[in-house]
Amino acid sequence: MINRRRKAGAVLAAFAAAVAVWLPATSAQAAGGPVVHITVLRDHIGLPVPPADDPPQIGWYLDNDGPGTAKDVAISADLSDVKDWVTVNGKSVDSFAWPAIGSVREGSSAGYIADVNAKPGTPLGTTGKVTLSGTSSNGTVVSRTIELTAGTTELKVNKLADRKGDKPGSTIESPITISNTGTLPAKGVQLRMASTIGLSYADHFSNCAYTTVQAEAATQQALCTFDTVVEPGKSYRLDQPLKLDVTHQALFEYFTDEALPLSGGAPTPGDGPKLSLVAAGDAGTDGTSEGQQNIDVDSTADMVAGGDTAKGAPGDLVHVDVSLSDHGPGWVYYNKSDDQPALLLTVPTGTKAVEIPKHCSVWNEDAQSGTGEQTPGAPQYICSPSPNTFAVGDTRTFRFGLKIREGAKTTTGEARATTAYGNTMTFDDNHANDTAAVTVEVEGSDSGSATATATPSASATAKADGNGVGTQTVATADDSTGSLARTGSSGMLPVAATAGAGALLLGAALVFVVRRRKA
């Protein structure tokens, strides 16, 4: 197996291809033994002509349907049908065997890859099949076939410029062009489009299917099919601009599109006229495999802090529910930074936070971020909602358990709508409701006036037992160890690790984020 460094874009493209083409094979289950399916990244692979220095790959992983663990699993490829014109990892062979995997537990397991290339001089359009099969000492491995073709169909869409300032109620018109920069024609095209929920398709066409998908952020998707043959080196455009209506809840939106060679049947016909592709000259050189247009709408979202009041006697454990809500008019899906909407709790003086809710951590004023730690007794905590999208009307609530100290009087802290790094949310133009009181009424104290919580000091150090009566400081050290508290974002950036023997781990994609600090 060859280990090589891959660009992040290639990793994401492979992951998208795996999701797009996965079609489970079927087989009778061996009596009493586990059944293992070979799942491929792509069941049809176009090979560049002439051969490429960075060739495409056969990639696969395993799905064990059970029952139990499959033992002594080994996978190989039969290349006899393509040996005359295909190389695998640079060699012309009848068969290729990957290193033995051994035991495969129920569920999905890591697989392998192998480079495939067409030999020099192979005529365009040459096709053949590779069969992946396997063995197991106690089960059945279901074989899988991949079709190889000399030549590629490479469809690109035109890049759309990002937009700012569109107003709710307006309509955006965008020309969509599809180019074939490969060496083989596409015998029909699928145009896949998706937009966030602040946008809606102004027109519906009979050759497009429309769905709404719930994921991290809900998207409205359109899949349009065309029987037009898209020749290599040529461009084709939609016979009318794509129209997107900007809805009343729009704020930070995006639109994506990609074109793929037509495969399988067309979706169920819809209503309306038919959308067509028309010739538009030579293929452009500035297209992209998947386009994304960011659309920042001229609107706002009012993020509101919610406070609470609790009652108890010294020594009691009381609970307060603090919250962050979106009062509109825009929904919030801020996908340009990890400086996401958050709620900052300043603990009322004379109480100690002893129960810290999920998604909340100690706030470090010096670092302007959460530490990722849920240490009791800190003076401030930052809460980062998950998911971090807010539909209009959404409320995220965080329950803290506070212990009332001996000698404490009725006291008030604060919940503040902010961002993960303590910034003001620029899309919120109403700051009158950014803060809310968090009050603990202490029985037996003079309840006529609450003790205001002191403004936290960035240079002070928290005591090991949290806030004292009448004072409050910001934690900059880990009281249990004396070491400096961790700084930076509490979010973990996924890291891609190299698997043993170069195994390709599937089902995860790298997410790159940009952290925005205060100016």
Residue 71 is predicted with a pLDDT of 95
Tokens standing for residue 195: 């937009």
How many whole angstroms separate alpha carbon 401 and alpha carbon 352? 8
DSSP 8-state assignment for residue 20: H
How many whole angstroms separate alpha carbon 291 and alpha carbon 346? 43
**Residue 198 amino acid letter:** G
| Number of alpha carbons in the 13 Å side-chain half-sphere of residue 326 | 23
- Residues in contact with 354: Cβ distance below 8 Å, sequence separation at least 6, in sequence order: 317, 376, 377, 401, 402, 403
Output the 3-class SS for 240-290: CCEEEEECCCCCEEEEEEEEEECCCCCCCCCCCCCCCEEEEEECCCCCECE
Using a 10 angstrom Cβ sphere, with 0-12 exposed, 13-18 middle and 19 or more buried, the burial of residue 449 is exposed
Residue 334 is predicted with a pLDDT of 84
Residue 393: strand, helix, or coil: coil
DSSP 8-state assignment for residue 21: H
Give the pTM: 0.73
Residue 110 is predicted with a pLDDT of 87
**Residue 369 amino acid letter:** S
Q: In 36-166, which residue ranges form alpha helices assigned H by DSSP?
A: none
Residue 218 is predicted with a pLDDT of 74
How many whole angstroms separate alpha carbon 439 and alpha carbon 441? 6
How many whole angstroms separate alpha carbon 95 and alpha carbon 130? 9
Q: How many CB atoms lie within 10 A of CB 381?
A: 26
How many whole angstroms separate alpha carbon 175 and alpha carbon 238? 7
* Cβ proximity of 419 and 491 under 8 Å: no
Residue 24 is predicted with a pLDDT of 40
How many whole angstroms separate alpha carbon 84 and alpha carbon 211? 45
Residue 23 is predicted with a pLDDT of 37
- Residues in contact with 481: Cβ distance below 8 Å, sequence separation at least 6, in sequence order: none
DSSP E strand boundaries for 365-463: 369-370, 380-383, 395-404, 411-419, 435-442, 451-452
How many whole angstroms separate alpha carbon 173 and alpha carbon 161? 12
How many whole angstroms separate alpha carbon 438 and alpha carbon 346? 8
Pairing of strands 44-47, 144-150: parallel
How many whole angstroms separate alpha carbon 270 and alpha carbon 497? 45
∠ at Cα 223 (220, 224), nearest 5°? 135
Residue 267 is predicted with a pLDDT of 64
Residue 496 is predicted with a pLDDT of 32
- pLDDT tens-digit profile, the chain (519 residues): 333 333 333 433 443 344 333 334 334 344 569 999 999 988 999 999 999 899 999 999 999 999 999 999 999 999 999 999 999 999 999 999 999 988 999 999 989 999 999 999 999 999 999 999 999 999 999 999 999 999 999 999 999 999 999 999 999 999 999 999 999 999 999 999 999 999 999 999 999 999 988 766 778 999 999 999 999 999 999 999 999 999 999 999 999 999 999 876 666 667 899 999 999 999 988 999 999 999 999 999 999 999 999 999 999 999 999 999 999 999 999 877 889 999 999 999 999 999 999 999 999 999 999 999 999 999 999 999 998 999 999 999 999 999 999 999 999 999 999 999 999 999 999 999 999 999 999 998 765 455 555 444 333 334 445 565 544 333 333 333 222 233 333 332 233 333 333 333 333 332 333 333 333
Reference 405, options 351, 451, 466; nearest CA is 351
390 phi and psi, to 5 degrees? -130, 115
How many whole angstroms separate alpha carbon 97 and alpha carbon 87? 14
Could you tell me the domains of the chain?
Answer: 8-150 (2.60.40.10), 155-297 (2.60.40), 301-452 (2.60.40.10)
Residue 17: strand, helix, or coil: helix
- 24-50 burial, b at 16+ Cβ within 10 Å, e below that, comes to eeeeeeeeebbbbbbbbbbeebbbbbe
